[in-house]
Structures are given as structure tokens and as C-alpha cells.
Structure 1
Amino acid sequence: MVVTSFPLGEVVQNQDATGRIVKWALKLMGLGISYAPQTAIKCQVLADFMAEWTETQMPPAVVDKDYWTMYFDGSLMKKGASMGLVFVSPLGVRMKYMIRIHFPASKNVAEYEALINGLCMAIELGIRWLDIRDDSQLVIDQVMKESSCHNTKIVVYC
């Protein structure tokens, strides 16, 4: 299947085509190729990508038999926000979670919601030692008290 935003299928399958297009159409005709229009990428796809490729994108965690690692990320959408959480056990087992926020939120609010929900889940899972990773340096600095917070909505999270 060829996914494209161009009318490639119409051009190749056009019987009025001439020249090189006809040669290509004859060669491709027997291969069973179908053409589909390109659609919009949903935020869920981006969150799934983040969960699937976290291991290759993030620096490796310190290997310790007692520590779990939690990766979190918030995502802003038109109708609310979502967050992705990945827990990696000391034995390397990965648990992936997606949570949808059903209220208007900024990117930073989504990041904080992801962190707080991740910590609650870690408590429910009985995790005692947790290494937490995120791609938002602002959130990390505010949580570690290395940066001040001036937004009244974010102060509550800090």
C-alpha cells in the first residue's frame, strides 16, 4: 500500500497517460499495489511512538537491582491533553500507560499531570525506589527547586 497526499494512484492508473507513465503503469500493474490518501496523525500515534521508542531516545538509566525507571511526557491536543507513562522494572520489563485529560490544559500542566499520575501509579504498584525521567527541563527544574514558577496555575503543581 502506498500512502501519499498526491494523486499518484490516479496518475499511474490513468488509461489516457502517455510516455514514461504508461511504462511505469505496466510494470507496477502486476504487483497489486493499492493507493491510500494520507490522513492526519492523531496524538495517540505520537504518544504510542514515544512509549515504543523511549528506550532508544532516553539516556540509559543507572543499573541497580532496586531501582525502577519512570519516563513521562504530556501532550497537548485540541480537545484536552494526554500523557504517556512508561515504567521499566529492574529486570527490564516495560509497562506502558496512556491517560487522557478531559479538561483544557497547557503543555506544562499536562507534564505535571503526567508526573503526579505516574507517582500515584508507582505507589499503587508498590515501587519504593524510582528514577524519574522527562524531556521538559522546565518541569524538572521547577520540581527540583532550581527554577522559580510565576504562573499561578503551575504554582499549585510545584
Structure 2
Amino acid sequence: MGPGSGAGVVLIFPEGNRLHYAICLHFSASNNIAEYETLINELRIAIELSTMRLYVRGDSDIVVDQVMKESSCRSPLMAAYCQEVYKLEDKFRRIKLHHIL
């Protein structure tokens, strides 16, 4: 993902309401870094909306596995992103990540 690239976040509430967000990255990032940036922004948005339970679907199996502690972070940068996700996770009663294809 290069400069000016982005990602989308869709929050779906139990009532069926949907909120769509676009995230623009202003720096060069690998796919996994872009996935972490998207996840972190998604968590921050959910926190602002006072969401207590969150089910996240992500298409990066590496990011999902690292956050769910099924694999370790090999680079310090990925570990820092993962730690930021852990800090934000504490704001929820329950959070579950699921890898989608």
C-alpha cells in the first residue's frame, strides 16, 4: 500500500445500522502495517461510539494471529502495533478477531 492509499471500515450494529469509514494512510506501508493501522482506527472509532463488544473481521491472517496471540511478532514495529491493539482492547468487555479470505 503506497502513499495516499486507504482502507475501509464498516461497523455493523446489532440493529442492522451500518457506519462506513474511510482511512487514508499518508505514508508507505506494507499490507500488514496497513491492516494494523485499520484495526487500530477501527478500535478507536468503536471506543468513541461506546461499543462494549466487538467482532472484527480482518483479511490479514498474520495480524489476526498476532493479536489473538497465536503467533509472535518478529519485528519491533509489528510488536509495537500489536501492543497498541492490546491497550485499546482493554476498553472493551469482549473483542474477537476472525480471519476472512
1:21 — aligned with what?
none
Report the CA distance between 1:101 and its aligned residue. 0.8
In structure 2, the CA distance between the partners of 1:118 and 1:82, relative to structure 1 (3 Å rule), is same
1:154 aligns with 2:42: no
Unaligned runs of 5+ residues in structure 1 are 1-75
Q: Deviation of residue 80 (structure 1)?
A: 4.3
TM-score, normalised to structure 1, is 0.49
Distance 2:31 2:60 in 1: 10
Aligned-pair CA distance for 1:111: 0.2
Partner of 1:84: 8
Structure 1 distance, partners of 2:4, 2:73, is: 23
Q: Describe how 1:60-75 pairs up with structure 2 within 5 A.
A: none
Superposed displacement of residue 152, structure 1: 2.2
Contact 1:80-1:105 within 8 A present in 2 as well: no
Instruction: Provide runs of 4+ in structure 1 moved above 2 Å.
Output: none
Aligned partner of residue 21 in structure 2, secondary structure: strand
Structure 1 match to 2:97: none
Partner amino acid for 1:154? M
- Measured in 1, the distance between the counterparts of 2:49 and 2:73 equals 31
1:103 to partner: Cα distance: 1.3
How far did 1:81 drift?
Answer: 3.2
RMSD of aligned residue pairs (Cα, Å): 1.1
Could you report, residue by residue, the CA deviation over 1:15-57 in whole angstroms, capped at 9, with x for unpaired residues?
Answer: xxxxxxxxxxxxxxxxxxxxxxxxxxxxxxxxxxxxxxxxxxx
**How far is 1:129 from its partner?**
1.1
Counterpart in the other structure of 2:21:
97
Q: Can you give the 5+ residue segments of structure 2 that lack an aligned partner in the other structure?
A: 83-101
- Inter-partner Cα distance in structure 2 for 1:147 and 1:81: 27
Conserved 8 A contact 1:82-1:98: yes
- Write the distance in 2 (CA, Å) between the matches of 1:144 and 1:80: 29
